[in-house]
Amino acid sequence: MNKRLILIALIITGLLTTVSPALSEEYVLGTFPIPLMVIDENNGVFVELAKEIAKKAGVSLSIQVAPPMRTVNNFQEGKVHGIFPALDVSFPDLSKIERSDSIYIKKDFAFTLKGAQMLKSIADLEGKKVGITRGYPYVRELTENKNIKLDLADSDETNAKKLNGKRIDCFVVEETTGLQAFKNVGLIDYFLFFRGSPISTQDVYFAFGNDDTGKMLAKKLSDAMNALKADGTFGNIMAKAQQ
């Protein structure tokens, strides 16, 4: 009888102390270098945000930084559990991913030199030589427009220098990262963009594989992110991108 009671006690103790495998595992989130936002595995506004959301969700998360296309390939090959920041244009088949709630709306602008025509739409870019950064997610309305001559560079800073040297007519980039790139190369006072008229907008989110793990992670990170938005933590972190 005593042995039976001991056995039952051990079973109950085991049930109480066992952690769900889905929560005890460390998950790998792939990302790519973005000025100010993703500096390395431990630094950057997006990195801080992802870690804070994971902490709130009770999810063990590690960050893996690689070039943009390699990050997407790593995800498609199952080498990472998810991608952040993710956009629809990154995936050929959206039915194969699970996504979180929206994090924010990515707005791309056409930066030009002071004194040049301000460009407010993709139609305005037709007939012009437009600088874009290799591997970064642009809308297909831009990349597939045959009337726009695209000029690829390996970094935002290179595009900023090309624009300053009049080797391109404009540079298409998100506001925050574009401003940081111009600042990094000492050209912050030489350009213009029309803040009220982005040439494109894209929804940004966490993306995971379309399986039980992906669904669990998307749900947990969405719930945690919404809680951080409610208590002001989310806004405080994102505000660092504007400083």
If one looks up domain 106-201 in CATH, what number appears? 3.40.190.10
Q: Hey, which bits of 9-154 come out as E strands?
A: 26-31, 60-65, 82-86, 97-99, 104-113, 129-133, 149-153
Annotated domain spans of the chain: 19-104+203-242, 106-201
Task: Dig out the tokens for 191 from the structure.
Answer: 């350009």
CA-based R_g, the chain, Å: 22
Residue 194, judged by CB atoms within 10 A of its CB (0-12, 13-18, 19+), counts as middle
Kindly indicate the confidence band of residue 35, based on its pLDDT and cuts at 50, 70 and 90. confident
Query: What is the rounded average pLDDT of the residues 105-115?
Result: 93
Residue 158: CB partners within 8 Å, gap ≥ 6?
A: none
Model pLDDT for residues 61-78, shown as the tens digit of each residue: 999 999 988 999 999 999
pLDDT in tens, 129-182: 999 999 888 999 999 999 999 999 999 999 999 999 999 999 999 988 898 899
* Per-residue pLDDT reduced to its tens digit, 207-241: 999 999 999 999 999 999 999 999 999 999 999 88
Q: Span 19-104+203-242: which CATH code?
A: 3.40.190.10
Dig out the tokens for 224 from the structure: 């945690």
Give strand pairing partners of 38: 34
Task: Give residue 185's identity as a one-letter amino acid code.
Answer: V
Distance of alpha carbon 156 from alpha carbon 11, whole angstroms: 58
* Preceding peptide of 85 cis, ω within 30°: yes
112 touches 98 (CB < 8 A): no
- Give how far Cα 89 sits from Cα of 32, 96, 103, Å: 16, 13, 16
